Amino acid sequence: MIEKYLPWLTAAFLLAVWEIMTRLFAVPAVILPPPSNIAGIFVSDKVLLIMDNAVPTTIQVLAGVLIAIVVAVLMAMVFSYFDRVRQAVVPYIIAFQVIPKIALAPVFILWFGIGFMSRFAFVVFMCFFPIVISMAAGLREADAGIVKMCRSLGCTRLQILFLVRLPFSAPYLFSSLKTATTMALIGVIVSEFITADRGLGYLILWSASRLDTTLLMASIVMCCAIGVVIYGFVSLAERVVLRRLSMR
């Protein structure tokens, strides 16, 4: 029974140690504020500042992930039916995958300017690769026996795609989404470091420039909260979708 609460107990223990050590050794708040000070931000007027900057960050993450899903799934479908296209394109996808994507952020700024579009495009770029690779694998690994049976019954390729291949690839999609959402949040924050005048990335830099480490840490906590909520939503959607597919 206690195993269910181990993560919470671990977090409580670490926060307690953090609180005690910072106060025992009188660590300046500008270096490392105690957790109680960071929590106090969320019951002060500054919470409005954090929430105001959390909105554009969240919108950019969700918009980027949604577009990346659409583009990546469509591309994976093309790969699953056209081997020559897959053989021609996949090596370049893998090559781009191994490039440190953060290093390409300035390129997107040159292409799309310093506004929303550059951050949005960068997020789509970061999310696209894990999704398309996983989905392509899932579509190819569909049960060959079921595919042959559907063909023998006169099913079209489109029917096989929607009735067999896509349902089979659902676990691959959700597995890649868990990685993609994390990368999307990283991409947005890094982009906001460079170009934004709003967002949690901007607020982190703004706080650091004013040596307001407490607000900086509170902004990081909000980033973590957004990531956890999105990750939790993906996990919930995975359970619901896979349960329904298993009942078919």
Do the beta carbons of residue 108 and residue 126 sit within 8 Å? no
Residues 15-57: tens digit of each pLDDT: 899 889 988 888 888 888 999 999 999 888 888 999 999 999 9
114: pLDDT strictly greater than 90: no
Mind listing the pLDDT tens digit for each residue in 74-98? 988 888 777 788 888 878 777 777 7
Percent share of the chain, pLDDT over 90? 20
Could you write out the DSSP letters of every residue in 99-161?
S-GGGGHHHHHHHH-SSHHHHHHHHHHHHHHHHHHHHHHHHHTS-HHHHHHHHHTT--HHHHI
Q: What angle do CA 185, 128, 59 make, to 5 degrees?
A: 35
What is the reported pLDDT for 52?
Answer: 92
What's the length of the chain?
A: 248
> Domains in the chain, ordered, with CATH?
28-246 (1.10.3720.10)
* Predicted structure pTM score: 0.85
Average pLDDT over residues 160-175: 82
Q: Is the pLDDT at 216 greater than 90, yes or no?
A: yes
